[in-house]
Structure 1
């Protein structure tokens, strides 16, 4: 780094320290001098902000260094780029640089108080003593929950981070083992050099916080494991067996959600963190002894590990290790910390091991039960679940209940086999039977699952639950009738059902909801800042006062509001008065706010408007002006409005000139608070033609078309043999992954494997195979039932189609090799005679030679026409692309026709061209690399 760069960084560090000390954002002061928000100010303005607002007085050399770095020229004038300067001073890291970790880019000032730390030379021994002392203090403060900063806050009246030496001695929070010499050493280290007699306690607090973060940071040089050794202090005597005990306790605590400290704290009346050995053994046995299957010797070994020299047990350390087994304390303060999780399978209920002979016998019993369950189609899980009526859904039943259920299902086993089943599926904690594991072993269609615990509800303090006093707002300037008219117009235009936005808040249907719910429903209705109409506080106050429940002052009668608003659509109880004339919806339409009433305008004003509109209309019709796109370019929000300046600019671009008076007449007609309504202006300028009502005509045409018989129309591209039809069906099934049996079995209620021909046709239509009449007739003849000619054996047809995925009864032939069905490429099925193939080959070679010479890319132009990305274009588009690439001159009309036939594919009954295959062949002839022309 050069000397100039180092000097500039020193100046920037000084300014950064001052800005953070005073909590000042420098960019806010520069904006006052930058009206155009260009990011630049003059040099005088730049240094004036630093001097007057930040109180930073720089020398001439420092100002020259900043000017050298941030000065730039615009239009021949020199400016200072304050935006780049503020980014360096205020931004903690470069958000656009994704190549580096933001933590390494972060730049923090060395000081928070505007002072410099004491640089008095201390001996290495003193510095080491201070570091050890700070570590002891941080451990003590963290354990007891002490904050050094709050200890001296009462003495620091001005909140400048300093206290006197006597105040520091008077309220020093410990620990008790810190002697007077060590406290004096702290005073020497942190006394303020500029103000004698004062001590900078805030610097001491920040050093303690930094040491705490360093102590809490994980050691990245060691591998991260999920063992208990990450949370307890290892001793030379801790062997693999002892580690296994802790792992077992850790998994049991995590799995059963045990709060271990609840079983010990009642024995610790003084909250000292230690209890007697007998109390620890009793508490551990009661807490997790059965769940973790701990023996007396194992519990005694855990007690020996946490025993003090005075024979008491440090239970608090044990509980902290168990509570944080698979978690990290204060995780919200460590967002980058990686949390260990239990290994896969550690939390599952394992099955008890048996001997080899017992396992063989057990497999035979389970296979027999599985065959019976499969043949009888039993759903066993529901029967076991009826006996599992525990509050927490334990998924276990007792052994007598297990035997009773098997006997009820007629799955009888011998007494010895029943004992064997109970031993295998016995839960190690409760000695009951784990029935989900048993059901999954005999029922292949059942898959076990786990229950997720519900999310914790947020805890509210009594102050949060207490109702806050409601502020009264003066809404005397609000017209209630105009407000309701606006809301009715909004509901009518957007065709909203008001009932849907409020009824969920009224489960009892009493027609009354709270004011907060009423405001929320109005916001969902679109009456908010995010909606189409901004409903401010005064307007909402007027609504809630008008519809206030007379019985409950804190609620609103939303049903009354509902009928007042939905009167734009209909009237309530209309079925009781069928002769009532409902008013048309047009009377509820209101113009946008700010629109003048044209009826009240003067005759001269109206005549001027008509004359200018007639002149503009004639000029627009003569020049065939398409005016709407010009206005839409300025309408970024698509609300049909532009500003007045934009309206004048659009008329100038369209060469529709008008005088200032004529322009004012147009603005008076179409302007409102939103802007200039160019949609209404265009309706006057170029009125749209009302489309003819074609429904009746189209309905008569459809009826005429439906009168024709289905077989009267000629069939196009119909397959003539069974193999072609099956290939067509298999290709569609393979591509769209259709299960034919699902569409046909509903017509065979008795599962006889056959169905009527009419039902067979209906099922094929549901499969969307798009078969012709002749093709369906061929299928019916092929799969016709031998016993009855009116039926079709659909199972044989389904098995034939499903053979493209696998072979039926494959479990009986394990050595059989299954070949996957591959649908044929459509364009490769286009066969031409040899002469035509030779002519196409010659044409392709000519095109490939030119593509190779000019290194042309064919895909981009084809893809521009392929809007749905299916790899095809129409024939006219194919020819147009070749012409644009100057390849059309190499192909004559006959060759174009052969190319169409060669690469022809059917898309929606229309003949298209597969341009991907065409381009691949051309690239191959041009000797290009794969997809790299």
Structure 2
């Protein structure tokens, strides 16, 4: 008896856990079977509700125990209300002597999981507590939620994963040993599923440890007194006054502090002096934290600006600090030069550590740098994503720093992490200087240094000098006439210019000659000017004038001759007289931009340096998946395909591609011209694209092969005319189609005839699903006697529409019209006599079982018929019959014969017409229609 009570209690405990997990009221699901609310339902209904609601399938012994505990009424029903009361109510309301909290009966775990009941040894338990404390501290520092780490492996949210998955995604400290992992696995192994780990219990224990640690720290926190003054009272040393002023001035310049705003509220009369306490308060609020000045240092400043009456001159102090690196009213003193901050004063320096800590942090950074180099980790981009203020501050918070390291897999222990944070933290704000950290661990990171800022003016001076020298060389360099004409032809060809339009308006008499000034003006309109496509200087224009000067009139130019020479890039004159002449390709007239270096004359060392540089850059771009073109396009505002040399160098810094000065000169030598650096050509050589293949011929061959395929064989075609008409009438009756509406548009003259190909097209539009042989039968039957290529479609339409009514019915009022009723599809199927007898016997056995147990057949079939076609697949038919308990009544062969007897075609697939089957069984069982 005790074993029976224990089994029933365990069942109730498991069901209660499932009910609380799903958050349902189980009583609502039993009401559907108890229409009279008597509190009793049948045993099959009781266990079916448990199965459908909780997916709980009980064995025979468990079902017997539940039936025995909750009693079966004389008519064989179970008291489900008593069962629901035991599941939902956690305390006895009749027992008033005990508080409800002590009577609560709640499951220990969530999601139906259980904790292992096997105790660990004493030393293992103490070790487990230490592991959980370390794991809690590690997860707290890095903001790790252990439940989310394993959620991807737990698709059904059961709270358990396999042991290998637990090892694979364990988010604990790096120094966790194998023995510690074994202790965790031994503790959190699920007892009901060997080989599975209950990670949800581990997550709950970590939360419990977190709450316990928080309670431990509460007394210490309560005893601490918060110091509202952030300036320490006892400084470590006494600095000189000049050093104090320098710290304050740098902080004011760096953070843009307006010092007067912190003092003027104390000076109502704007006298420029305030009391000592007011000055100390204002200075502490203004830059006490930013400048890291302490109380004795503030006192020294007070003594320096103190008046004999004890007040302090704040206005003089503010002017000195705000104008430390500036001169007041500088717009009135244009010749004055302002003093700049010293080198490195505005840089975020790193805090110095002692010798032992410096050695340790060097080893840690070398380890991280080695892993970054081997695994090719791009570190800077992930830090930069967290730096999302108004401008890049180049700092992140310590928690963000820890999260990024964990995300990148650069895990270090807590002591080393504390050293790294202490080294790279800003002493003022406590934020971490991530560019300095990335510079220390990533050798390929290209950062901004102070040397670059110092050399900026020198670089600008060099660029200006180089530009002036290049301009002088261009003016003084000799120009060949052939090169000049090639350049003009290139401009005309690329821009598709018509030369005659720029000169013919100046030649009103069409003499072919214009003045030199008009010729210069026409060239400028073509784009040969400083603001056009090519800067035509005086030397080049003089060469054109000498070549095209009119010998009859030296002050005029033969512009028609110039036009003929330039227009030869498009075609040749009198080409119709010489049909065999070969016209040169237009690509031959394209010339490189002016200033492009002839690469064929380059030295071998120069070419080797260029090839090595391109190979290294190509390898880096490919490995790091760098998208280069958008960065270059950002500098090309006018989309001319060229940028300046400084912008070209800046693009490499943005893309983090290290290039030294020699390599940069080698690239500029090949891609530079008078317009700048041709970055499009550079990108084409850096990332060459595969040429587009000519696929036209291949596609034509594929189309020919596709069109050459034979038509598919027909599936079960009808061979006689009556069957074809019956098929059409059945579809027309079911879908209420008017055939005449699809055919009348092809008979404009209403002759009653139409071509056979149009007849086929109309049948196709009507979607009668006729095959080729069936359409041929209709064409032979309704072929016109006047024209063998036509069909009498009116006769065909009358024959089809006779299923609804007859023509001229108003003349025969006593005529009886019979409505056409299409045969149901399942009645057409024919079985042999032996199979028919077998089907009849099987249906009688099913009908007998349905009559005895009053089984409802339709609901189970309708659950699978989501689109209400009245049919289900054969596998679904077998599944429903097995669920309803007919597997013991009929064999597999009989089920197969039933499917053949009531088969129906739905969308080209053979299904089972369950409506006809259910009606036939109800008729055999003697039920009234729609009242089983």
How would you bin the TM-score normalised by the shorter chain? under 0.3
- Give the alignment's TM-score, normalised by structure 2: 0.27
Q: Which has the higher contact order (CA 8 A, sep 6+)?
A: 2
